[in-house]
Chains A and B, each alone.
Chain A
Amino acid sequence: MMIDHPTLGPRDAAEFVYMGCASLINRPDWQAEDALQQFIDYGYQRDNPSGAHRELWFHEGGDRSWLVVTRDTVTHAITQVELARDVARREGRSK
C-alpha cells in the first residue's frame, strides 16, 4: 500500500505502524458526570465498517507524525490523508 503523506508525498505502508480507528482522537472529558461510561465506549466500542474507515497510522520509519488515513477496508483505496494534529485541532482538542 502507498500512503500519500500530506507533507512527504507517497510513502510505502511498510514505513508506518497502524493503530486503529481515528475515533481514538475523541478522548472523553475525565470530569464529565458519566466519564467512566464514556471512557468505556471510547476504549471498547468502535466501528468496524466494511467500506470507508478513518484510521490512525504512525510514520515510525519516517517523520514520526500521526496521520488520519481514510481507507476503504474492502478495496484498500485511500481517499484522504491528513495530519492527525490538524484533525485533532479541528475536532476541538486545542487546549
Chain B
Amino acid sequence: MTQTNRLQGGMIDRSRTLSFRFDGKAFQGHPGDTLASALLANDVRLMGRSFKYHRPRGPMTAGSEEPNAIVELRTGARQEPNTRATTAELFDGLVANSQNRWPSLRFDAMGVNDWLSPFFAAGFYYKTFMWPAKFWEKLYEPMIRRAAGLGSVSFEPDPDSYDKGFLYCDLLVIGGGPAGLATALRAGEAGARVILADEDFTLGGRLNAETHEVAGMAGHAWAAQAVARLADMPNVRVMPRTTILGAFDHGTYGALERVSDHLAVPEKGKPRQILWRIYSKHALLAAGATERPIAFENNDRPGIMLAGAVRSYVNRWAVTPAQNVAIFTNNDDGHRTATDLRTRGVNVAAVIDTRPDAPDGGDFEVIRGGVITNTSGRLGLTGIEVRTADGGQRKISCGALGVSGGWNPNVALTCHQGGRPAWNTDIAAFVPGSTLPPNMSVAGAANGVFTTHGAFHTGAKAASQILDHLGLSAPAPDLPEAEDGPVNLTPFWHVKDAKRAWVDQQNDVTAKDVKLAHQENFVSVEHLKRYTTLGMATDQGKTSNMAGLAIMAEVAGKSIPEVGTTMFRPPYTPTAIGAFAGRSRDKDFRPVRKTPSHVWAEEKGAVFVEVGMWLRAQWFPQPGETHWRESVDREVLQTRKSVGICDVTTLGKIDVQGADAADFLNRIYCNGFAKLPVGKTRYGLMLREDGIAMDDGTAARLADDHFVVTTTTANAVGVYRHMEFVRQCLFPDMDVQLISTTEAWAQFAVAGPNARKLLRKVVDDDYDVSNEGFPFMACAEITVCGGLRARLFRISFSGELAYEIAVPTRYGDAMIRKLMQAGEEFDVVPYGTEALGVMRIEKGHAAGNELNGTTTALNLGMGRMVSKKKDSIGSTLSEREGLNEDDALKLVGFKPVDNSKPVPAGSHLMTKGSQVDAAHDQGYVTSACYSPNLGCHIGIGFLKSGHARTGEVIRLVSPLTGIDHEVEVVSAHFVDPEGERLRA
C-alpha cells in the first residue's frame, strides 16, 4: 500500500489525490503536501546525494533552510535545478529527479569520493592543484568543473514570464506566524496600509507545526481565522508564497512572490514569479527561528532530521518519517517531538538528552546525559549507538532520528544594512543587535522570544509603537491565550572525537575540517568560511553556521560572540536569475528606437545596425549584390556622383532658447558663438572640464535667442545632462532654457552635386536655396511640400554639397518617400551608416572613434579653435603642459604602400626600424575603410607630431592579428581637401 507513513489528521486535503513521479517512479500525495512530505509519506527518505562526497541524504528540515533534499523539478524547458523538496508544493503530475548522482540515486559511482575522503579535507583544491601550474587550465579545471555543481539546467529558453512590481505600505510584516499575525491584525484594524508576506503557502508559521492551542482552538485553526479576517480588510494585502529577500535603503524591501510555482504550468497570462519592490514606512520582522542540529558521527543518514521538522511532518502533514523514531536533544523542545509522535501512535525508541538533569518525558524512555556516537544504515537510518552517562554503549534501532540543538532567531534581514547580531546567553543564540535597518522592529522568535504567548505580546507591543509613529490609534488588543513554556537548554554543539561529524551537510564540511582550518591559521570567521566552504552552499548555512562558529570558538579558546558571525547578505533564499531579469530578455532586453524612415527602409530591404538603442539602416542591398561592400561602394560613388539621402534623425537635438542663449553656448563650446549671425550654423567642439574633447556637433542660430544644437547619436543623453549641469549649477541666473527635441524632428541628409536640384523640388517657392541665397553653413525655418514647416541646414558630413532637412517626426515617413520620388530623375540613392562612415573618413572628419575620451582639441587638429578670449568649459585645463607637448598626437591620414593591404583600426604605428613595443609606440589608427574613390584602404588616426611627418613611411602593426606592413602618412582629407564641393 502507498503512503505507509501517513498518519491521521494534518492540514492536507485527503479528498483529492495527486500523482507525481520521483526518479521515474510513481507516487501519490494530497493537496497541502510538499514534495518532501509526500515522499516521506511513501516511505522514501533518500532524496539526494551530497555535493562533494556523494553521500546519500534525505530531508533534514521542513522548510526553506533545507540543505539536503534538493532536486531537479519539472522537465524540458521548465526543468529547475536545486529546488528544495521541503518547499516545493505538490501538484498533480509533478515530476522530480534527484541530482548529483550517476547512474542512480541508490548507486552513485561518484560515491567513491566518500572512500577517498581523507584526501579531500578542507583546502584540498588549494593544496592539490597547485602544481604543476600548467596543468591547471587544461586538466585540473575541466576535471573539477565536471565533478562540481549540483543540478543541471535544460539549456532551453525559459517558456514562462517573470514580472516586476512595486508596492507601497505603512507597515510591512515579514512572516505570518503568531507574532506577524498579531501585528498585522492590530495594524490592519487601526487602518494602516499593511502588507503581510510569508514564504509558506499556508500562513501560520509554527502554529501549523505544533499542537499548542490558541484561544481554546487548534493553533492552525486560529491562524486560518486570523488570515481570513485580514483578507477581509481592504487596507491589508496578504501575500503567501512571498519571500522577503532583502532589506535595502530607506525602508525598501525586495520580495519574490512565487505566483505559479505550485502549478504545473502558469495560468494563461500569469507570470511564474514576481519580483516586488516594497516601499514601507515601517517593517516588522517576525521571521521566526530556525532549529539547529548537533554534529555527531555519521549524523547525515537519510532519516536523521531536526526534531522540530519531525513535528512539522507529524502535525501539519500527518507523516512520520519512520515507524520507530528516536530523539537526540539538549533542550526540552526535543521532548515535545516525542510527545507528539506518541500521541499519533508512533513508537519512540528513546529520547537521548545531553543534559544529566533532563526532565521526565512521559511514556517514552529518556537517556539522560547520553550522546550518540555513531549511526548505521547505508541508504537510510537503521539504528544509532548511544554512549550513556555512565560510559556504557547501547545500540538502539530506529528508522528516523529527530535532533534538536536549540533554535536560532532568523536575524538575516536585520543585518542587511550593516547591523551585527548580539549574543544572548539564555538561549545560546544570536539575536538582532542594537543597529537595525531604519524603522524596522523585530518580534517573536526572530527576537529570541520562543513562546507563542511571547510572540503575541511582542508583536502587539511592536504594533502599538508603529501605530503611534503613524499617528493611528487602536484599542488595547485582546490577545489570545497561548502557551508560555520556558526555554530550558544547555548548549551542546557536537559530540567530540567523531571522525566525520557533519556540520554543513550541503557542502560536506565536518567538525574536523573546521578544526583543521584553525590549525592552519584561518582564524577569522570569514576566512574559515571561504577555506572550508562552510555556509557557502545554496542554503547559506542556515542550519550549519552556528555549529561551525561554536567549534571554532572551542578550538580557539574564545567565546562564540568573540568569534562573531559572517555577513548576512541578500537574497535570503536562492532566487532565479529570471526573476531579476523580469521582462528584460531577448528583444525586450532594452528598448529599441526606430527612426522615422524605418518602415520605408524595411521596404527597401535595408540591413540594420544597432547604434545605442537606435536601429539605423546600415546599407541598402540591391538585387545581385552579394557582398556588403558592393552595396556600400555603390552608395558612396553614387552620392558623390549625383545625390544620396541618409536618415540622420538619431543625432541628438537640443533646443536652446533665452536672452542668454548665445552666451551660454559660448561657455559650452570651446570655440566662440556670441557673434554667430542669425541664419548661420557653426561647428562646435565641446570639451570636458579636464580639457578632453567631449562631443562635437553644430549649433544653428534660428533667432537672436534661439539655437538648435546637435550632438552625436551616442552622446545625446550625456551632453544634455552636462548642459543642464552648466546651466543649473554653474550659471544659475543665465536666462536660458533647454529641451531635448531629438524625437520631435525627423532629419535627413541630402548630399551630392545634385542635392540642390533635388531640394528645389520639395522646398516651397518662397524660399531661396541658391548658393548665394542659402550659402554653406546657412540655416532657416522654411516650409516644404506646400506649407509643411521644416528646418533647413546647409551642413555637410560627407564633404559634398549637402543639406540637412528636418520636418516634424510624424511627417518623416512621408518626407523620405517624397525626397526619393523627387530624386528619381537624378538616380538618387539612399545610403546607410556604412557609406556615411566611408565618406566622413574620406573627408577626414572626426567621429566617436576619434573623440574617444583621451583626445584633446589639439590632438584633433582643432587646437586653435579653443578660444583664449572667453571662459568655456575645459579651456583652462586644456592648457596643461602635458596636453601640449611638441610631439603631441595629431590626427592624420594613412594609405598603404602596397595598395592591396588593409589599414585596420586599432593597429599601432611604429617608426621604421624601431622595436615593436609600447615604449616605441608612435600612435594608432582610429577609423579605417575601403575608399571606392581612391581604390584602396585608407585610415585616419593619431600620430606623434602628426602633419610634420607627412610623406613618411611608417610601420603598421597589430601583433594580435599578425598585421605588419608599411603605410604612408598623408593628410586626413583624402577627398576634396580644399572644400570646394561643399561650397559649390
Contact B729 A24 (CB under 8 A): yes
Q: Chain A interface mostly helix, strand, loop or mixed? A: mixed
Partner of B879, one of A17, A36, A64, A65: A36
CB contacts (< 8 Å) of A64 on chain B: these are 724
In the assembled complex, the Cα of A42 lies from the Cα of B250 at a distance in Å of 32
Contact B734 A95 (CB under 8 A): yes
Contact A30 B875 (CB under 8 A): yes
Given A58-B725, A64-B724, are A30 and B730 neighbors across the interface (CB < 8 Å)? no
Contact B730 A88 (CB under 8 A): yes
Contact A84 B729 (CB under 8 A): yes
In the assembled complex, the Cα of A12 lies from the Cα of B145 at a distance in Å of 41
Partner of A19, one of B418, B725, B880: B725
Contact A36 B729 (CB under 8 A): no
Contact A36 B732 (CB under 8 A): no
Which of B252, B717, B729, B734: most chain A CB closer than 10 A?
A: B729
Q: Which residue of B lies closest to A38 (CB)?
A: B876
For the complex, count residues of A whose C-beta is within 8 A of B. Answer: 38
Contact A2 B279 (CB under 8 A): yes
Cβ distance A95 to chain B, nearest Cβ, rounded Å: 5
Contact B438 A77 (CB under 8 A): yes
CB interface residues, A 18-70, toward B, < 8 Å: 19, 24-25, 27-28, 30-31, 35-36, 39-40, 42-43, 56, 58, 60, 64-66
Per-position binary interface string of chain B over residues 701-721, scored 1 when its CB falls under 8 Å from any chain A CB and 0 otherwise: 000000000000000010001
Contact A85 B732 (CB under 8 A): yes
Cβ distance B282 to chain A, nearest Cβ, rounded Å: 14
CB contacts (< 8 Å) of B721 on chain A: these are 17, 58, 60
Residue B125 lies at the interface, judged by CB distance under 8 Å to chain A? no
Residue A7 lies at the interface, judged by CB distance under 8 Å to chain B? no
Cβ distance A73 to chain B, nearest Cβ, rounded Å: 12
In the assembled complex, the Cα of A50 lies from the Cα of B729 at a distance in Å of 25
Cβ distance A8 to chain B, nearest Cβ, rounded Å: 15
Contact A78 B879 (CB under 8 A): no
Contact B729 A56 (CB under 8 A): yes
Contact A36 B728 (CB under 8 A): no
Contact A88 B728 (CB under 8 A): yes
In the assembled complex, the Cα of A17 lies from the Cα of B720 at a distance in Å of 13
CB contacts (< 8 Å) of B279 on chain A: these are 2, 12
Contact B250 A36 (CB under 8 A): no
Contact B249 A93 (CB under 8 A): no
Contact-residue size bin, chain B (C-beta under 8 Å from the other chain): 20 to 34
Residue B642 lies at the interface, judged by CB distance under 8 Å to chain A? no
In the assembled complex, the Cα of A12 lies from the Cα of B279 at a distance in Å of 9
CB contacts (< 8 Å) of A27 on chain B: these are 689, 730
Contact B724 A95 (CB under 8 A): no
Contact A88 B729 (CB under 8 A): yes
Contact A84 B728 (CB under 8 A): yes
CB interface residues, B 162-196, toward A, < 8 Å: none
CB contacts (< 8 Å) of A95 on chain B: these are 731, 733-734
Which of A13, A31, A76: most chain B CB closer than 10 A?
A: A76
Residue B871 lies at the interface, judged by CB distance under 8 Å to chain A? yes
Contact B725 A66 (CB under 8 A): yes
Partner of A39, one of B689, B729, B730, B732: B689
CB contacts (< 8 Å) of B730 on chain A: these are 25, 27, 88, 93
Contact B724 A1 (CB under 8 A): no
CB contacts (< 8 Å) of B689 on chain A: these are 27, 39, 42-43
Contact B249 A65 (CB under 8 A): no
Partner of A43, one of B690, B729, B732, B734: B690
Residue B473 lies at the interface, judged by CB distance under 8 Å to chain A? no
Q: Which residue of B lies closest to A14 (CB)?
A: B277
CB contacts (< 8 Å) of B734 on chain A: these are 95
In the assembled complex, the Cα of A27 lies from the Cα of B667 at a distance in Å of 13
Given A56-B729, A65-B728, are A1 and B249 neighbors across the interface (CB < 8 Å)? yes
Partner of A85, one of B252, B418, B729, B871: B729
CB interface residues, B 719-756, toward A, < 8 Å: 721, 724-725, 728-734
CB contacts (< 8 Å) of B717 on chain A: these are 60
Q: Which residue of A lies closest to B717 (CB)?
A: A60
Q: Which residue of A lies closest to B871 (CB)?
A: A30
Contact A30 B876 (CB under 8 A): yes
CB contacts (< 8 Å) of A76 on chain B: these are 249-250
Residue B877 lies at the interface, judged by CB distance under 8 Å to chain A? yes
CB contacts (< 8 Å) of A39 on chain B: these are 689, 876-877
Q: Which residue of A lies closest to B868 (CB)?
A: A30
Contact A94 B733 (CB under 8 A): yes
CB contacts (< 8 Å) of A83 on chain B: these are 728
CB contacts (< 8 Å) of A60 on chain B: these are 717, 721
Contact A89 B732 (CB under 8 A): yes
Q: Which residue of A lies closest to B435 (CB)?
A: A75
In the assembled complex, the Cα of A87 lies from the Cα of B729 at a distance in Å of 8
Contact B880 A75 (CB under 8 A): no
Residue B417 lies at the interface, judged by CB distance under 8 Å to chain A? yes
CB contacts (< 8 Å) of A36 on chain B: these are 876-877, 879-880
CB contacts (< 8 Å) of B876 on chain A: these are 28, 30, 35-36, 39
In the assembled complex, the Cα of A56 lies from the Cα of B722 at a distance in Å of 12
Cβ distance B509 to chain A, nearest Cβ, rounded Å: 33
In the assembled complex, the Cα of A13 lies from the Cα of B249 at a distance in Å of 10
Task: Enumerate 12 A-B pairs (CB-CB under 8 Å) in ascending A order.
Answer: A1-B249, A24-B725, A36-B880, A43-B877, A66-B724, A74-B418, A77-B438, A85-B729, A93-B730, A93-B731, A93-B733, A95-B731
A1-B248, A43-B690 known; 8 other A-B pairs, CB under 8 Å?
A1-B252, A2-B249, A28-B876, A43-B689, A76-B249, A85-B729, A85-B732, A89-B733
| Interface residues of B, Cβ cutoff 8 Å to A | 248-252, 279, 417-418, 438, 689-690, 717, 721, 724-725, 728-734, 871, 875-877, 879-880
| Interface residues of A, Cβ cutoff 8 Å to B | 1-2, 12-13, 17, 19, 24-25, 27-28, 30-31, 35-36, 39-40, 42-43, 56, 58, 60, 64-66, 74-78, 83-85, 87-89, 93-95
